[in-house]
Amino acid sequence: MSEILCVYYSRTGNTKKAMEEIAQALDAELLELKDEVKREGLLGWLRCGMDAVSRSVPPLVPAKQQRPLSDYRLVLIGTPVWAGRCSSVVRAFLKESGTDLRHVGYVLTRSSGAKHGEVYRQMDGYVLYPHLFGVSLQSGSAGCHFWQEQFVKTVQDWLAEGSNTKEKTDAGKAERD
């Protein structure tokens, strides 16, 4: 049973692909978040932006991980960036379960050149402790795979060294683009 849970929402498949690769590299459990809102096509894309701006929290389709969230050593949360915010589906997960998470890391996927560092701070507002790791991946960019691999290496180093010292926690906070 894995000590790491990779949980994500993906509308177009970019976040799903990144999280599948990260979960495989870390031998982590993978859990997809879903809601029942129609998000396909242009109208779905507009709905996503409106949901992000209004900070809506849709009801989630129940998903079951292998153990309680508080039992994972690390939970990595993947989300697309919508209108400068995390997806409403991930916001719903964080609002519902954020206080059950001990150590978190964030994987943002984006279409723009902006890193969206403020999204990390928004997500941290729903968890007990600030994120340890963060990576902001621009799907299709030349450096996307490099930064994803660097993120995995940072997580692996943290897991190998232990997670109890502040120095190790601070070292893992480097934000990648």
pLDDT value of residue 103:
95
Q: Which of 2, 3, 1, 69 is nearest to 33 (CA)?
A: 69
Express each pLDDT in 6-56 by its tens digit.
999 998 888 999 999 999 999 999 999 988 777 777 776 777 677 777 677
d(CA 91, CA 98) in angstroms, rounded, equals: 9
Q: Which of 25, 8, 7, 24 is nearest to 157 (CA)?
A: 25
User: How far is CA 170 from each of CA 83, 108, 125, 146, 154, rounded to the nearest angstrom?
Assistant: 28, 19, 18, 21, 12
pLDDT over 80 (residue 176): no
The total domain count for the chain is 1
pLDDT over 60 (residue 174): no
pLDDT over 90 (residue 125): yes
pLDDT value of residue 38:
79
pLDDT over 60 (residue 173): no
pLDDT value of residue 112:
73
Share of the chain above pLDDT 90, in %: 49
Q: Which of 34, 177, 37 is nearest to 119 (CA)?
A: 177
Report residue 1's pLDDT band, with 50, 70 and 90 as the boundaries. low
Give the torsion sign (CA, 33, 114, 99, 28). Answer: positive
d(CA 86, CA 120) in angstroms, rounded, equals: 9
At 77, which CATH number?
3.40.50.360
d(CA 169, CA 103) in angstroms, rounded, equals: 10
Express each pLDDT in 68-93 by its tens digit.
999 999 999 999 988 888 888 999 99
pLDDT value of residue 115:
66
Question: Model's pTM, two decimal places?
Answer: 0.83
| Residues spanned by the domain of 99 | 4-176
pLDDT value of residue 134:
93
Report residue 123's pLDDT band, with 50, 70 and 90 as the boundaries. very high
